[in-house]
Amino acid sequence: MPALDPTTGIWTVAALATAAVILRPWRVPEFVWALGGAVLLILLGWLPLPAALKAVAEGGDVYLFLIGMMVLAELARQQGLFDWLAMYAVQHAKGSGQRLFNLVFLVGTLVTVFLSNDATAVVLTPAVYAACRAAKAEPLPYLFICAFIANAASFVLPISNPANLVVFGSQMPPLLDWLRQFSLPSLAAIGLTYLMLRLAQRKQIRQPLATCIDLQPLPGGARLCAFGLVLTGIVLLSASALDRPLGLPTFCAGLATAGLIHLRQRRSPLPVLKGVAWGVLPLVAGLFMLVEAVAHTGLTRHLADSLAALAQHGEAHAGWVAGIAAALAGNLMNNLPAGLIAGSMGQMAELPGSTTAALLIGIDLGPNLSITGSLATLLWLAAIRREGEHVGAWGFLKLGVLVMPPALVGALTALLV
């Protein structure tokens, strides 16, 4: 029996591992499948161990970013900040589901822009659930906002999505150049996402809400946590403006906030550490290794050369192809590995700025079609499961088909036309 061709073997293992991450058979955690596929490739000799370790190490900034954000989110949850924010939102909704919808969408946009889409998934989702519980409202129409705006607003600023760090890497544009290129596409994506979500959920949000809300004073620990979140946003904006990596500042802000609160309260930090979804980190590491293995097959080089050749015949046409292809790829394999491939393509070939920008928009916005399309959506899914809510792949897809395509077309049109 002839030996399996390494290229075919890598593609087979990577495809099966990615499918398992998306489908989550037997409810086995996603990171088990991603890491398992990567380890299998190493054992079979198709992914050299030094290359695998290098791929894991390249995600260092992303790991630090995620740890900082998840610690801040769990801290805010345990200190009661989410419950207080929920009561505040319901009080200001004044019994109107439409007003609560608008308020959640606005807050979700601001959190995504200034703290990242992962922060929206892990920080805002529990607060929205608590608000719906206090208002005696059906949670899902409002929880869906957290999932969709987390991706739709994720290219307003470089800090709005860790995938932006992956796609551009050391070639990240200065902040003013970024704003000139992505402001109009971001407005289009956010506006059309709001419009389609509002239309899709119009019946559910017409239901009246509870109005007898007793807003208690904000606890001391929650105030410190809110201060930590605001300070983190300022630090991230400053780091972005100075063209510095974002992972370490986020990590330090999260640990400093947790340390300050627990020293003041003289409590052990173990409950916070136990509440963090640590499985996200090995999932990201496994995906990094799978992408490195795929790169060894020469696919990334072929895609980069093909896109560069297409751009020579028309930048706008190349931008549309790049954006739509990246959006579809992000849904099929998760946008983090798709972003890694896009980032590698930018290093291998001379691509016009508009083509790279279109790739980024596809990577960031495209995953609103699939429940496992982005890391933020996976974090959102974990957050709603924790609250006892369940959304299946088919249910998310039915809403995503209505929401994502208009937003993607609008953003690419604003960029390329």
Cβ atoms within 10 A of the Cβ of 321, count?
A: 19
Cα–Cα distance, 307 to 209 (Å, whole number): 51
Cα–Cα distance, 201 to 394 (Å, whole number): 17
Residue 1: predicted pLDDT: 38
Both tokens of residue 192? 């059309």
Instruction: Show Cβ contacts of residue 343 under 8 Å, excluding neighbours closer than 6 positions.
Output: 166, 167, 168, 169
Does residue 310 lie in a domain region?
yes
Query: What distances in angstroms separate CA 245 from CA 53, 62, 144, 248, 281, one per listed residue?
Result: 21, 9, 30, 7, 18
Cα–Cα distance, 335 to 329 (Å, whole number): 7
Does residue 305 lie in a domain region?
yes
193 and 147 Cβ atoms separated by less than 8 Å:
no
Cα–Cα distance, 45 to 55 (Å, whole number): 16
Query: What's the CA angle centered on 182, arms 180 and 186, to 5 degrees?
Result: 135
What's the domain count of the chain? 1
**For residue 383, what are the domain limits?**
6-168+177-416
Cα–Cα distance, 69 to 122 (Å, whole number): 8
Residue 181: predicted pLDDT: 92
Residue 381 — φ and ψ, nearest 5°? Answer: -60, -45
Does residue 106 lie in a domain region?
yes
Cα–Cα distance, 283 to 30 (Å, whole number): 7
Helix/strand number for the chain, H first, E second: 21, 0
Cα–Cα distance, 406 to 415 (Å, whole number): 14
Cα–Cα distance, 146 to 69 (Å, whole number): 16
Does residue 257 lie in a domain region?
yes
Residue 3: predicted pLDDT: 55
Residue 116: predicted pLDDT: 80
Work out the widest C-alpha separation in the chain, in whole angstroms.
74
Per DSSP, 153 falls in state T
Does residue 1 lie in a domain region?
no
256 and 38 Cβ atoms separated by less than 8 Å:
no
Query: What distances in angstroms separate CA 379 from CA 30, 218, 263, one per listed residue?
Result: 11, 27, 29
Does residue 384 lie in a domain region?
yes
Any idea which residue has 């109009």 for tokens? 184
| Sign of the CA dihedral running 207, 210, 211, 213 | negative
Does residue 90 lie in a domain region?
yes
Both tokens of residue 38? 């990567």
Per DSSP, 207 falls in state S
Taking the model in full, what pTM does it have? Answer: 0.82
Residues of the chain with pLDDT under 50: 1-2
Q: Which of 121, 131, 130 has its CA nearest to residue 70?
A: 121
Does residue 253 lie in a domain region?
yes
Q: Read off the pLDDT of residues 285-297 as tens digits, 9 standing for 90 and up.
A: 898 898 888 878 8
